[in-house]
């Protein structure tokens, strides 16, 4: 369970996360949607301790994020950042192996190797495992970062726009992987998505943010509603049903 209580973050005079309180239950897939600048990444970065809130508190399974040592938190919670600035002269395998660091502290075991191999295979990266990150396409690089996060094998997985740069095949594969992580491995996945139809197809819960606030949250069907979405995105959006799924048309 992730408990966010009265969390606020400002840059200068601008409040970008405005007094948010919400409890994210364990298990399942929760998508965070909302327009550019809504505060989605800022909120995720605070849960992952990359940023500290100006006020409020965040607890992960009862651990206060601001007081928990990084290596303890890193075994509970992994985070894929929206912008990964990483040394380009690193191979895919090195990057993915880095995901095991919280466990191995650099002394990699056979088990670490198995996790790395599984992640490379799941993300279809075996053929480019020994290539440098700056020799990859944008989508291949994105998949390498997802593999690194997967390798960390944490109960909580936070993914900030994991579908960036991905073609439909690889986007669907990642969302299936996300579902499997939740359904088979009981992980709690929180994922920021701009594609409303991906959110509607693969999430249990949806949180909609705008202007630093949560404007709606609940089961997928409660949030994927045309009036609500049209208002959030300031764009006319229709929601149709197709084979029991909700499809947004814009």
Backbone angles phi, psi at 63, to 5 degrees: -90, 125
Q: Is 36 in the site for ligand ATP (CB under 6 A)?
A: yes
The closest of 125, 209, 112 to 173, measured between CA atoms, is 125
Q: Which residues of 17-44 are buried (b: 16+ CB within 10 A; e: fewer)?
A: beebeeebeeebbbbbbbeeebbbbbbb
Q: Is 142 in the site for ligand ATP (CB under 6 A)?
A: no
> From residue 31 to residue 50, what is the string marking binding to Mg ion with x (rule CB under 5 A)?
---------xx---------
Q: Indicate the residue among 100 and 141 with the shorter CB distance to ligand ATP.
A: 141
Query: Residue 236 corresponds to which tokens in the numbers above?
Result: 């006319």
Q: Which stretch binds ligand ATP (CB under 6 A): 33-41, 52-60, 63-71, 113-121?
A: 33-41
**Strands in the chain per DSSP E:** 2-11, 14-24, 28-33, 55-60, 63-64, 77-80, 156-160, 188-192, 205-210, 213-219, 238-242, 245-249
CB hemisphere CA count around 163 (13 angstroms)? 23
Could you tell me whether strands 28-33 and 188-192 are parallel, antiparallel, or unpaired per DSSP bridges?
parallel
Q: Provide the β-strand partners of residue 11.
A: 14
Q: Indicate the residue among 83 and 184 with the shorter CB distance to ligand ATP.
A: 83
37 binds, among ligand ATP, Mg ion, none (CB under 5 to 8 A by kind): ligand ATP
Q: Is 104 in the site for Mg ion (CB under 5 A)?
A: no
Q: Which stretch binds ligand ATP (CB under 6 A): 40-48, 106-114, 126-134, 240-248?
A: 40-48
Minimum CB separation of residue 39 from ligand ATP in Å reads 4
Q: Is 82 in the site for Mg ion (CB under 5 A)?
A: yes
153 binds, among Mg ion, ligand ATP, none (CB under 5 to 8 A by kind): none
38 binds, among Mg ion, ligand ATP, none (CB under 5 to 8 A by kind): ligand ATP
Q: How many Cβ atoms sit within 10 Å of the Cβ of residue 184?
A: 8
Q: Indicate the residue among 53 and 102 with the shorter CB distance to ligand ATP.
A: 53
99 binds, among ligand ATP, Mg ion, none (CB under 5 to 8 A by kind): none
Q: Is 65 in the site for ligand ATP (CB under 6 A)?
A: no
- 33 within 8 A of 228, measured Cβ to Cβ: no
Minimum CB separation of residue 100 from ligand ATP in Å reads 28
Q: Which stretch binds ligand ATP (CB under 6 A): 38-46, 95-103, 180-188, 217-225?
A: 38-46
CB hemisphere CA count around 73 (13 angstroms)? 20
The closest of 139, 143, 155, 164 to 190, measured between CA atoms, is 155
Q: Is 15 in the site for ligand ATP (CB under 6 A)?
A: no
Minimum CB separation of residue 202 from ligand ATP in Å reads 18
Contact footprint for ligand ATP (CB under 6 A): 11, 16, 34, 36-42, 82
Contact footprint for Mg ion (CB under 5 A): 40-41, 82
């Amino acid at each position: 369970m992730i408990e966010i209580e009265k969390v606020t973050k400002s840059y200068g005079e601008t409040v970008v996360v405005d007094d948010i309180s919400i409890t994210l239950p364990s298990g399942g897939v929760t998508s965070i949607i909302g327009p550019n600048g809504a505060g989605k990444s800022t909120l995720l970065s605070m849960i992952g301790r990359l940023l500290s809130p100006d006020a409020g508190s965040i607890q992960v399974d009862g651990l206060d994020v601001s007081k928990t040592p990084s290596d303890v938190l890193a075994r509970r919670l992994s985070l894929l950042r929206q912008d990964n600035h990483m040394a380009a002269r690193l191979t895919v395998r090195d990057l993915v192996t880095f995901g095991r660091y919280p466990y191995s502290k650099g002394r990699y075991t056979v088990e670490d190797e198995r996790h790395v191999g599984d992640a490379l295979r799941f993300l279809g990266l075996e053929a480019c495992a020994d290539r440098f990150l700056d020799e990859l396409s944008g989508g291949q690089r994105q998949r390498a970062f997802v593999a690194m996060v997967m390798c960390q094998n944490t109960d909580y997985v936070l993914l900030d726009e994991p579908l960036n740069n991905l073609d439909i095949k690889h986007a669907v594969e990642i969302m299936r992987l996300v579902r499997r992580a939740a359904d088979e491995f009981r992980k709690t996945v929180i994922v920021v998505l701009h594609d409303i139809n991906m959110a509607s197809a693969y999430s249990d819960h949806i949180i909609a943010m705008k202007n630093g606030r949560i404007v709606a949250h609940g089961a997928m069907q409660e949030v994927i509603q045309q009036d609500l979405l049209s208002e959030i995105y300031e764009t006319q959006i229709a929601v149709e049903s197709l084979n029991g799924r909700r499809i947004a048309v814009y």
